A and B are shown apart, each in its own frame.
Chain A
Amino acid sequence: MPAPILQLNDVKTHFPVSSGFFVRHQTGTVKAVDGVTLSVARGEVLGLVGESGCGKSTLARTILQLVPTTGGTVILEGRNLTSASAAEMLLARRDLQMVFQDPFASLNPRMTVYATLAEPLLVHKVVPPDQVRARVTALMEKVGLSPRFLEKYPHEFSGGQRQRIAIARALALEPKVIIADEPVSALDVSIQAQILNLLSKLCREMNLALIFIAHDLSVVKHISDRVAVMYLGKIVELGPAVEVIEHPRHPYTRALVSAIPTPDPDIERGKKRLVLPGDPPSPLNPPAGCAFHPRCPYVQEKCKVSVPPLIPCGPNREAACVRLDEIGAQ
Chain B
Amino acid sequence: MMEKVNLDGAVVNRIRFKLNGREKNLDVASHENLVDLLVRLDHFSARESCGQGLCGCCTVLVDEIPVSACLTLAQLVDGSEVKTAEGLAPPGELDFVQRAFIEEGAFQCGFCTPGFVMMTHALLKETVDPSETEIREYLAGNLCRCAAYPEIIRAVKTAARNRPERTEKP
* Chains A and B bind each other: no
Which residues of chain B have a CB within 8 Å of any CB of chain A? none
